Amino acid sequence: MQHSSLASSLTAILIVGGLRQRSERCLHALLAQSSGVQFDILIIDIAPQTTPFAGRDQPHVRYVHYPDCPSYATAKVEGIRNAATEFVAFIEDHAIPDPNWAKGVLNAFRQAPDIASVVYTYKNLNPRTVISRAFMLFSYGTWMNPTFSGYVASGPSNNIAYRRAVLLESGDALTTYLDMEYLFHQRFQAQGWKMYKTAEAIIAHENWVRLLPGLRDVGVHSQFLAIRRVALNHWSLAKRALFIGGMTVFPLVQCWRLGKSLRSRPGLFRTFLSNLPILFIFSAYGAFKEAIGYLNVSRDLRAIVTANELFIPRDV
């Protein structure tokens, strides 16, 4: 990797917590990106106490310690504000980028000036259990096609790149939007911006290997989505009740949509069919917790979401 703060147009933002070896693994892969690519690396460390972190002293790595950070989304905003490049690319500490990932992100943004977000291509880092395979498909299946590049209507949270100016346009609401990025994607696409999925930028994602932790993760994020959606859109009780009713059929709709998106990829579609019972359990539990979120909009789940992302091992 080459680095020049004056020439770089991309900042890779890595948010780290208590699992240092896992985060160092990701940083090592960032430092090993293919030559000829100029980009910055920004680490936002929200661990309560400063502990050794191998690689943070590299000349092309910037490090910010933010021990009183209240949420994962707040850490992302801190990264955006500390970056000085045109594009920012988030990568979770439990993901590993392929050597050409940064090059692929930059090439994707160069496709058109109206691209606000670049979606990576995702693969499974730890496919050793049926739960990890099902969780990967449930979370990233729509974007796992290794050959497709083109415009898409949606993208995941956390492992995704943005045009920094589009993020900053949200002003004080940015933290709330980044709590659940699906809502942010809807917002900027309504303004005419586009999302582009690239086959060049590949990351391997580490997944939960046991059912109960995977269910807990799905449930917390689903409930948090409901709470944030109500807060952003100022929904009335009647509209919340309407969406609660919709949760009764949502698992069927969600599984049908996922299966439809995978029909053209025989290998992934076979994996979908063989894991359908587990996928339905994930979806049904997520719908149940989302309904609870519409009922109890006052609960603050930020600490739980942050712990799931940065402080609880997945591959155990």
Residue 264 lies in a domain: yes
Residues 196 and 54 in one domain: yes
Residue 166 lies in a domain: yes
Residues 45 and 137 in one domain: yes
Read off φ and ψ for residue 236, nearest 5 degrees: -80, 165
Q: Quote the pTM value.
A: 0.95
Residues 241 and 179 in one domain: no
pLDDT for res 5: 43
Report the SS3 class of residue 124: strand
Rounded mean pLDDT, 288-294:
97
Residues 37 and 165 in one domain: yes
Rounded mean pLDDT, 281-301:
96
- Cα maximum dimension of the chain: 56
pLDDT for res 1: 52
Residues 188 and 225 in one domain: no
Residue that is last in its domain, among 205, 234, 262: 205
pLDDT for res 249: 97
Q: Amino acid identity, residue 13?
A: I
**Is pLDDT above 50 for 279?**
yes
Residue 57 lies in a domain: yes
Residues 132 and 43 in one domain: yes
39-58 pLDDT, tens digit per residue, is 999 999 999 887 889 999 98
**Is pLDDT above 60 for 104?**
yes
Residue 2 lies in a domain: no
Residue 193 lies in a domain: yes
pLDDT for res 162: 98
pLDDT for res 7: 59
Residues 188 and 101 in one domain: yes
Residues 184 and 283 in one domain: no
Bridge partners of 40, per DSSP, are 11
Number of CB atoms found within 10 A of residue 146's CB: 11
**Is pLDDT above 70 for 12?**
yes
Residue 136 lies in a domain: yes
Residue 1 lies in a domain: no
Residue 249 lies in a domain: yes
The tokens for 260 are 């439809």
pLDDT tier, 145 (very low <50, low <70, confident <90, very high otherwise): confident
CATH of the domain at 172: 3.90.550.10
Residues 107 and 53 in one domain: yes
223-271 pLDDT, tens digit per residue, is 999 999 998 889 999 999 999 999 999 999 999 999 999 998 999 999 9
Provide CB contacts within 8 A for 278, sequence distance 6+: 130, 131, 134, 211
Residue that is last in its domain, among 205, 235, 263: 205
pLDDT tier, 59 (very low <50, low <70, confident <90, very high otherwise): confident
User: Are 122 and 98 a contacting pair, CB within 8 Å?
Assistant: no
Residue that is last in its domain, among 176, 205, 234: 205
Residues 260 and 152 in one domain: no
Number of CB atoms found within 10 A of residue 115's CB: 21
The whole domain housing 124 covers 10-205
High-pLDDT (> 90) share of the chain, %: 88
What is the number of domains present in the chain? 2
Residues 40 and 182 in one domain: yes
Residues 64 and 16 in one domain: yes
Distance CA 62, CA 179 (A): 24
